[in-house]
């Protein structure tokens, strides 16, 4: 259930929920109707997610009405659990009690960065300490913790994305979502960009930086369940600049695999032919769009022809030769 902008105490510089989504605020009855119809499509045992705003900061009466609307479906087992997205400064003991009572099992926090200066320039209104504290509370209370980060926000240092990713691992993320910054029209970030005060990421640069954090999360065993904004029709006409590309996730994973290949290829420089072994289903990621990864590697290592072969014994982004 999309709850656009509800509970948001401010406008973060990069966000204009009203321009990327219908501003319609669902009523509790609509939530119940939507659950019913979604269960018809997905079958029983689905998870209900409230996203798009700051769920735990929505006024109490409305928040409870939403949770009450979901209750009968949880009771009869048609819904398995509930997930909510919120801000790190909107979590406390009372809220967690309420979430437990209503069957919420997963909480996603929009962390975005763990650099206080970046958070300030983005007008997030919370600090790194808020993220650390909320994460600790949620983990201690047994919630599944999702943390969202952005890359390329105003004021981010060259290795700021790496620091943020390491912090999210340290804070105990069970999964993460990574969003390289997109300049959406009618936002403060668009004004900053037009005034020359902010340099937008290109999709290519965003893929390189995203590969850095993919590496960190993969090593730590933290799943990245989303990389890049969903290419929705509403968003399409609203992008002014930045890391918007429908295949950004594939591009980033391709960069990561190309880097892995670069580590194993040096002994095969000038070879006539060589084969890269990858996990099942990873051929296209290794090959890259229009064979771009392989062509780059063939040139870099002066190899006549590179082949990609899948092996059941390999996992994730492993590349061996």
Q: Considering CB under 6 A, how many residues would be counted as binding ligand SF4? A: 10
Question: Shortest approach of ligand SF4 to residue 165 CB, angstroms?
Answer: 19
| Whole-angstrom distance, CA of residue 183 vs CA of residue 217 | 25
Question: Shortest approach of ligand SF4 to residue 144 CB, angstroms?
Answer: 20
Beta carbons within 8 Å of 28's beta carbon, 6+ residues apart: 65, 66, 68, 69
Q: Indicate left, alpha or beta for 305 from its phi (over 0: left) and psi (-120 to 50: alpha).
A: beta
Binding mask 262-291 for ligand SF4 (x = CB under 6 A): ------------------------------
Q: Check if the beta carbon of residue 62 is closer than 8 Å to that of residue 30.
A: no
Question: Shortest approach of ligand SF4 to residue 120 CB, angstroms?
Answer: 14
Question: Shortest approach of ligand SF4 to residue 5 CB, angstroms?
Answer: 6
Q: Check if the beta carbon of residue 194 is closer than 8 Å to that of residue 242.
A: no
Q: Based on the shown chain and the rule CB under 6 A, indicate whether residue 90 belongs to the binding site for ligand SF4.
A: no
| Residues 108 to 127 in contact with ligand SF4, rule: CB under 6 A | 110
Cβ proximity to ligand SF4, 89 vs 167, nearer residue: 89
Determine which residue in the list 3, 20, 26, 54 makes contact with ligand SF4, applying CB under 6 A. Answer: 54
Q: Check if the beta carbon of residue 171 is closer than 8 Å to that of residue 149.
A: no
| Whole-angstrom distance, CA of residue 4 vs CA of residue 278 | 41
| Residues 3 to 32 in contact with ligand SF4, rule: CB under 6 A | 5, 8, 11-12, 15, 17
| Whole-angstrom distance, CA of residue 287 vs CA of residue 308 | 7
Instruction: Extract the tokens encoding 44.
Output: 């029983």
Question: Shortest approach of ligand SF4 to residue 11 CB, angstroms?
Answer: 5
Q: Under DSSP, is residue 273 helix (H, G, I), strand (E, B) or coil?
A: strand
Cβ proximity to ligand SF4, 4 vs 316, nearer residue: 4
Q: Which residues bind ligand SF4 (CB under 6 A)?
A: 5, 8, 11-12, 15, 17, 53-54, 87, 110
């Amino acid at each position: 259930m999309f709850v656009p902008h509800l509970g948001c105490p401010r406008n973060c510089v990069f966000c204009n929920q009203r321009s990327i989504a219908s501003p319609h605020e669902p009523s509790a009855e609509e939530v119940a109707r939507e659950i019913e119809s979604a269960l018809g499509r997905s079958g029983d045992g689905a998870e209900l997610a409230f996203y798009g705003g700051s769920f735990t900061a929505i006024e109490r009466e409305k928040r409870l009405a939403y949770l009450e609307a979901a209750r009968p479906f949880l009771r009869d087992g048609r819904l398995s659990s509930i997930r909510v997205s919120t801000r790190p400064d909107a979590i406390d003991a009372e809220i967690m009690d309420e979430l437990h009572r209503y069957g919420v099992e997963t909480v996603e926090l929009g962390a975005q960065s763990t650099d206080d200066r970046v958070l300030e320039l983005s007008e997030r209104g919370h600090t790194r300490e808020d993220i650390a504290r909320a994460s600790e509370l949620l983990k201690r209370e047994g919630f599944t913790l999702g943390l969202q980060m952005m890359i390329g926000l105003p004021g981010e240092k060259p290795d700021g994305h790496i620091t943020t990713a390491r912090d999210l691992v340290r804070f105990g993320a069970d999964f993460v979502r990574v969003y390289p910054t997109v300049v959406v029209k009618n936002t403060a970030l668009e004004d900053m960009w037009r005034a020359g005060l902010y340099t937008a990421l290109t999709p290519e640069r965003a893929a390189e930086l995203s590969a850095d954090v993919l590496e960190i999360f993969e090593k730590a065993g933290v799943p990245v369940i989303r990389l890049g904004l969903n290419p929705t029709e509403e968003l399409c006409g609203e992008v002014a600049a930045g890391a918007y590309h429908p295949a950004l996730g594939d591009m980033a994973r391709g960069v990561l695999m190309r880097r892995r290949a670069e580590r194993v290829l040096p002994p095969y420089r000038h070879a006539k032919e060589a084969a890269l072994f990858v996990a099942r289903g990873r051929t296209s990621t290794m090959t890259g769009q229009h064979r771009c990864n392989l062509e780059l590697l063939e040139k870099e290592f002066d190899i006549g022809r590179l082949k990609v072969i899948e092996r059941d014994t390999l996992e994730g982004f492993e590349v061996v030769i």
